[in-house]
A and B are shown apart, each in its own frame.
Chain A
Amino acid sequence: MLAYLIRRLGQSFLVMAVMATIVFFGLYMVGNPIDLLINPEDDLAAQEEAIRRLGLDQPVYIQFLQFLKGVATGNLGVSFVHNTPALELILSRLPATLELAFFAMLFAVLIGIPLGMFAGLYPKSPGSRIIMGGSIIGFSTPNFWQGLMLIMLFAVFWRVLPSGGRGETTELFGVPVSFLTLDGLKHLILPALNLAIFKISLVIRLSRAGTAEVSLQDYVKYARARGLSEKRVVGVHILKNILIPVVTVLGLELGNVIAFAVVTETVFAWPGIGKLLIDSIGLLDRPVVVAYMMLTVFMFVMINFFVDMAYSMLDPRIRIKAGKA
């Protein structure tokens, strides 16, 4: 397992290095951030002064070498806009995104699996048709539109939930979280649901297909023949066996949800890293964008690693193979 972990980490560093290089030069080619940061009233001398102060007067390879030097010492650069170390800036916004992602995944599992299993067990019932039709809508409508519709219904029309923002937060182990206060929870529901809709649809489809397939397996028939209660057949024998594909996909999706909650965070003015990324791209705040990308790659690698671990817990056969490899 340790050798495996080391190999995975090695791969991830390579990917991170390539990613950082591409993003660095890509943003350099888009434009010069100083043209956006500087006040146009400033005269030419002041403009040059600001360019020099941010190190943007250097040729690009020098800038890149300086960036590499910083990375080697654990410094991913300082935000041009906020004058805060880029990594610190991202980490300060990360709890908000993690909380949102966690609740979105929770919704996906708690809503998606039961509905999907129901549709798999009773494919001909009208309820199943409604569930499957709903999942198609969840798949096929754009995320920002769903978000705006949620705002329209719950915030503007019924006025039961706020339209955006994070609301009241409390400290949990020194990290600000929303879900411990009523106000915070109210602010959390809509964006989490918005982020979850696509995942719910996905989980419904996966668990329906899985349930339909597993229900016909011999061991399920045998379990039924042994006279086990329906509750035990569905809750243990079927549920456990459909979880592998669901966990795989959710693992991959978790990375997506954390790294690219951009649309939801923008529509709901949620102060997470997605909103930070969009604002930083708009202002060509290169240190922040590069650090974000490196962190994202690292996170994806780690999530995949944990997904592999989860497999081996769910399926002993994978564990044996990994042990031999």
Chain B
Amino acid sequence: MKYGIWTLALATGLAVGSSAVNAETLTAGFASEPSSVDPLYHNLGPNNALRKHMFEALVGEDENLAIVPMLAVSWSNPDPLTWEFKLREGVKFHDGGDFTSRDFLYTACRIPNVPNSPSSMAGFTKTAETITAPDSHTIRVTTAAPYPLLLSDFASFGVVSASANGHDGPVTYSKDGCEGIASYPPSEDYNSGKAAIGTGPFKFASFVPGDRITMTRNDGYWGDKPYWDEIVIRPITNSGARVAALLAGDVDIIEKPPVQDLERLKSDPAVNVVEGPSSRVIYLHFDHEGEPSPGITGTNDKNPLKDIRVRKAMSLAIDRKLIVDRIMGGQAVVARQLVPDFMRGVDPEIALEEPNAEEAKRLLAEAGYPDGFNLVLGTPNDRYINDSKIAQAVAQMFTRVGIKTEIDAMTASVFFSRRNGYEFSLYLAGWGASGAGMASPLRALVATQNKDKGLGGTNRGRYSNAALDAEIEAALATVDPAEHDAALRRASKIVVDDVAILPLHFEVTPWALRAGLTTTPRADQHTVLTTVRPAN
């Protein structure tokens, strides 16, 4: 019945065509609402996407997540432990104040002092031993050990204004807590607009929780002036209602249009669909540790996933191209490594794998499982595009080579709790790599869990490989980009050769706009309205 409505919806949309919308205001329908306007409150997708409109980072990430100048125009490493940033001259905050190195120091000081932050930005500054400002437009950062991902970290948080936060004196940064700052404003001061003063292309106008966030053009912006006088972000969580709002002309752009409506939206002359590759890989992660493993039966309590021949067989059993064509409707790119080709650290020598069910059966027999075994595959059913359908397809492909696979699909909140409690022998999940490229999934998903080194934070398969760890640590210990990338490539090869994890594909992100508008798709899947413009 649900699809029936959309047939009607799209037919009527076709008949009516696009209506005139005020060219000065752009209204966007977002799939989820940021939990705060405060750019330093919650390190999560919707908040970080919103932040990019009002607050800028020291360095930026372009649509392919390559590092580009932003508030800093250039940077250098006088030695491997020191970073020196030259700040852009003449940048003004929304309240007219000058942006100087003091504001960056203040931002670094405030990060650990945001009350009750559910996911803090503190990880992005913790490698900095000292942050100093030799003059008003220079920032010098030192680290205890060489740290190549500093740029990507500093691209991840927006700079706030010290004066607008109520601090007028000088700022001295200290890792153990800055001194001389009387108090830090709570996040509510950002939601009310009082402290929401950034340097970005749009200024805060109003925030009505649950209904809308309105921003106006910053006419004093240092970069290209945005096209729109005003932008309005409306959270419309229901995907059907989001499409309806677009067809009704109430919004000009929506994110995450439902996949089943995509073909029809594309054929509607009143709608323009823009797609772009993302850095989000959908993968299967093995239980490398449990013996017996919770979801495996028929093996006399042994964990067959510890045997590389079994993992190889499972990789060969999956027809990734078929999944991309049939289940994703072409909205995905086949994967073998953990980040897409346009990001750093990908080994171009590694070819995609051809599925081979016969070889898979032979490897299983060789490993001592000629009749296969029983496996439960855990998956969320509302987190990634078509997640549970992908899991079903994979389960059939495994069953075809003898591994009788059932899927256990559940809502994301339950799934992540169970996964983090190691309740799955095999699970499906996704990873959106940051601008760090290959280093991002490597250190989180497959590096050995190590709290002190900050490695393996999402390695819920408990994979551990000393050779791989050595390469990852080598990559993380050099600030030389060429050396860093070379180590990442070697690490990626180890992951592929050992079948540590099974990448399936990279999501392609769609956006739907009213005809005549276009946008630049971003690999981090953020909707940034600054890039929305007339198509010609």
Known: A266-B241, A275-B237. A50 touches B457 (CB 8 A): no
Q: In the complex, A160→B450 CA distance in Å?
A: 59
Name the A residues within 8 Å of B470 (CB-CB): none
A30-B5 in contact given A37-B44, A38-B119, A155-B250 (Cβ < 8 Å) = no
Nearest chain-A residue to B15 (Cβ)?
A157
Q: Which of A44, A83, A162, A272 has the most CB of B within 10 A?
A: A83
Chain A positions 116 through 158: 1 when the CB is less than 8 Å from some CB of chain B, otherwise 0: 0000000000000000000000000000010011011001110
Cβ of B210 under 8 Å from chain A? yes
Q: How far is the CA of A49 from the CA of B455 in the complex (A)?
A: 15
Segment with Cβ contacts to B, from A60-68, A195-203, A276-284, A302-310: A276-284
Chain A, Cβ-Cβ closest to B440: A41
Q: Mark A82-103, 1 if CB is under 8 A from B, else 0.
A: 1110000100110010000000
Cβ of B103 under 8 Å from chain A: no
Q: B69-77, B132-140, B361-369, B412-420: which one contacts chain A?
A: B412-420
Q: Kindly supply a per-residue 1/0 record for chain B positions 188-213, scoring 1 wherever the CB is within 8 Å of any chain A CB and 0 otherwise.
A: 10000000000000000000111110
Return the contact of B238 from the options A36, A159, A266 (Cβ within 8 A). Answer: A266
- Do B454 and A43 have beta carbons less than 8 Å apart? yes
Contacts across chains A and B counted by CB atoms under 8 Å: 184
Measured in the bound complex, the distance between the Cα atoms of B236 and A43 in whole Å is 32
In the bound complex, residues from chain A placing their C-beta under 8 Å from that of B516 are none
Q: Is the CB of A93 within 8 A of B209?
A: yes
Given contacts A43-B123, A271-B209, contact A145 B5 (CB under 8 A): yes
Q: Is B240 an interface residue (CB 8 A)?
A: yes
Complexed CA–CA distance, A39 and B36 (Å):
15
Is A207 part of the contact surface with B, judged by Cβ < 8 Å? no
Q: How far is the CA of A248 from the CA of B339 in the complex (A)?
A: 62
Which residue of B244, B452, B458 contacts A40 across the interface (Cβ within 8 Å)? Answer: B458
Against A, the Cβ 8 Å flags (1 = close, 0 = not) of B350-367 are 000000000000000000
> Is the CB of A300 closer than 8 A to any CB of chain B?
no
B158 within 8 A of A: no
Contact in complex: B241, A32 (CB < 8 Å):
no
Answer whether residue B300 sits at the interface, using C-beta atoms and an 8 A cutoff: no
Residue of A nearest to B12 (CB): A157
Which of chain B's residues 49-99 have a Cβ closer than 8 Å to chain A?
A: none
By the criterion CB–CB under 8 Å, are A78 and B116 in contact?
Answer: yes
Partner of A269, one of B117, B123, B187, B238: B238
Q: Decide if A205 is an interface residue (CB 8 Å cutoff).
A: no
**Looking across the interface, which residue of chain A has its beta carbon closest to that of B242?**
A269
Interface centre among B12, B116, B450 (most CB of A within 10 A): B116
Interface residues of B in 415-463 (CB under 8 A from A): 416-420, 431, 434, 440, 444, 449-452, 454-458
State which of A30, A156, A165 has its C-beta within 8 Å of the C-beta of B13: A156
* A156 CB to nearest B CB, Å: 5
Distance of A149 Cα from B244 Cα, bound (Å): 10
Q: Known A80-B118, A269-B235, A271-B211; judge A159-B457 contact (CB<8 A).
A: no
Judge whether A156 and B35 touch: CB under 8 Å.
Answer: no
B262 within 8 A of A: no
B1-22 contact mask (Cβ, 8 Å, vs A): 1 or 0:
1000100110011011001000
Partner of A276, one of B43, B210, B234, B444: B210
The reply to whether B241 and A271 form a contact with Cβ atoms under 8 Å apart is no
Which one of B210, B235, B413 contacts A284 once the chains associate, using CB atoms below 8 Å? B413
With a CB–CB cut-off of 8 A, which chain B residues contact A283?
A: 413
Minimum CB distance partner of A166 in chain B: B211
Q: Does B104 contact A (CB under 8 A)?
A: no
Could you list which residues of chain A lie within 8 angstroms of chain B, going by C-beta atoms?
30-50, 53-54, 78, 80-84, 89, 92-93, 96, 145, 148-149, 151-152, 155-157, 159, 162-166, 266-269, 271-272, 275-276, 278-279, 282-284
**Interface residues in chain B, defined as those with a beta carbon under 8 Å from any beta carbon in chain A:** 1, 5, 8-9, 12-13, 15-16, 19, 33, 35-36, 41-44, 115-120, 122-123, 186-188, 208-212, 234-238, 240-241, 244-245, 247-250, 411-414, 416-420, 431, 434, 440, 444, 449-452, 454-458
A-B contact pairs, 17 of them (CB 8 A): A31-B416, A36-B412, A38-B118, A39-B119, A44-B456, A46-B123, A53-B116, A53-B117, A83-B41, A156-B244, A156-B247, A159-B248, A165-B234, A266-B238, A272-B210, A275-B210, A283-B413
